[in-house]
Amino acid sequence: MGRDDSAEIARQHVIDPEICIRCNTCEETCPIKAVTHDSRNYVVDFNICRGCGDCIAPCPTGAIDNWRQVVKAKAYTLEEQFSWDSLPPQEELAGAADAALPDDVERLTQEARAGQGGTAPAPWSAETPRVNLYSLQKPAIATVTANFKLTDEGSSSDIRHIILDFGNTAFPVLEGQSIGVIPPGTDANGKPHHIRLYSVASPRDGEKPNHNNLSLTVKRVTENHNGQSIKGPASNYLCDLKKGDQVKIVGPYGSSFLMPNHPGSSLLMICTGTGSAPMRAMTEYRRRHMAQKEGGALMLFFGARRPGELPYFGPLTKLPKDFIDVNFAFSREPGKPKTYVQDMIRARAADVARFLKDDNCYIYICGLKGMEDGVKVAFREVCDGHGMNWDALQPELLAKGRFHVETY
């Protein structure tokens, strides 16, 4: 279902009149004269501003670094902004979130959650997500600003960090949400390709703080789950993108695999390969915004064949141990026994049990389908050894929005 033009959402740059000291720096800096003023307020003309951000750093107070998502046809006029004593609150944008999800996305989302054992609500303190703002008929256009290989040059696995910039287009996401990509061209039957989903790997305020961009962690698929050679259309298209290329993006999607925001809430994250994308987003949000004592504990179990095939391996090893407890599992390290994430969960059983018992701990599992069963068996064993019953606990975790699985 497409949206009509009048419902198109945009990102509007605004200035906080309560903080602004009227120093004129923004008006002097703006290269396209989008900033103007009267005797009351400095304001940004929505019809001129291109969101370049040149004015942000020079502003001495930060009053300039404010944005609202608006229905494009109803963006705040200059007259409205001149009359403000304070910024208006972000309005709930009706309509977009209620539109039906594309069939592909419904199906893919249900398959990805199959291992969860039912429907889990979002954590009670999660921010309200925006979903389905951009459709196949009206995709958002993003520009590639970076595409680099995360895995070792010698490794057979090609996993990439891709940064997409949305320019002046509002594309609000929360950690744990996915976006949809439409590969160009047609499939073997001459039909347009269906949507593929990719988890957002950056926090809600952008890959770079306060930039209208996001990142993805994409693995080039060269064989299917049975080991047969194939060239996955969407992943190869994304991995081959060059800086400056434009990509059609739909979504965002996902309204339950979201992080809690209340002080003291903890995250137990278990992932393999590109399943690290949402974990990176959540960890980075916590690192940027929540002092450790506010945020609660973070524990990560992260599996790959070898260290060289583990996305974000280097940065993860540099995070302070008292910020995040990282446990790597490598299944093909020469000369070492095969270790999987479930083995590491067993090795840390006492700590995992503490997390499972804690009502403020939220559990996230993401990666290839094959990981689910082993992780659940390990949880069952942890429960058996620590006075809990997994069969009783799992539905309780689900009902409380504490257990989230996304595998593909």
Binding ligand FAD by CB under 6 A: which of 9, 120, 234, 365?
Answer: 234
User: Positive or negative, the Cα torsion across 142, 148, 150, 154?
Assistant: positive
Told to check if 178 binds ligand FAD by CB under 6 A, we report yes
Task: List Cβ<8 Å contacts ≥24 apart for 322-325.
Answer: 322/292, 323/286, 323/287, 323/292, 323/298, 324/283, 324/298, 324/299, 324/300, 325/297, 325/298, 325/299, 325/300, 325/351
The catalytic residue among 198, 285, 340, 364 is 198
Q: Which stretch binds ligand FAD (CB under 6 A): 79-87, 222-230, 262-270, 337-345?
A: 222-230
Task: Kindly identify the residues of this chain, within the stretch 109-128, that bind ligand FAD according to CB under 6 A.
Answer: 112
CB neighbourhood size of 150 (10 A): 23
Told to check if 175 binds ligand FAD by CB under 6 A, we report no
Q: Would residue 199 show up in a list of annotated catalytic residues for this protein?
A: yes
Q: Which stretch binds ligand FAD (CB under 6 A): 42-50, 229-237, 319-327, 339-347?
A: 229-237
CA–CA separation, 280 vs 152, rounded Å? Answer: 19
Question: Smallest distance, Å, CB 246 to ligand FAD?
Answer: 19
Binding ligand FAD by CB under 6 A: which of 24, 90, 224, 389?
Answer: 224
Exposure class string for 58-68: b at 16+ Cβ within 10 A, else e: ebeeebbbbeb
Task: Kindly identify the residues of this chain, within the stretch 269-328, that bind ligand FAD according to CB under 6 A.
Answer: 274, 277
Place of tokens 């081959």: 240
Place of tokens 């307020």: 41
Task: Kindly identify the residues of this chain, within the stretch 327-386, that bind ligand FAD according to CB under 6 A.
Answer: 368
Binding ligand FAD by CB under 6 A: which of 101, 108, 279, 329?
Answer: 108
Q: Would residue 366 show up in a list of annotated catalytic residues for this protein?
A: yes
Residue 213 has phi, psi (to 5 degrees) of -135, 170
Told to check if 147 binds ligand FAD by CB under 6 A, we report no
> What DSSP state is assigned to residue 188?
T
* Residues of this chain that bind ligand FAD (CB under 6 A): 108, 112, 178, 196-199, 217-219, 221, 224-225, 230, 232-236, 274, 277, 368, 406, 408
- Residues acting as catalytic residues: 198-199, 366, 406, 408
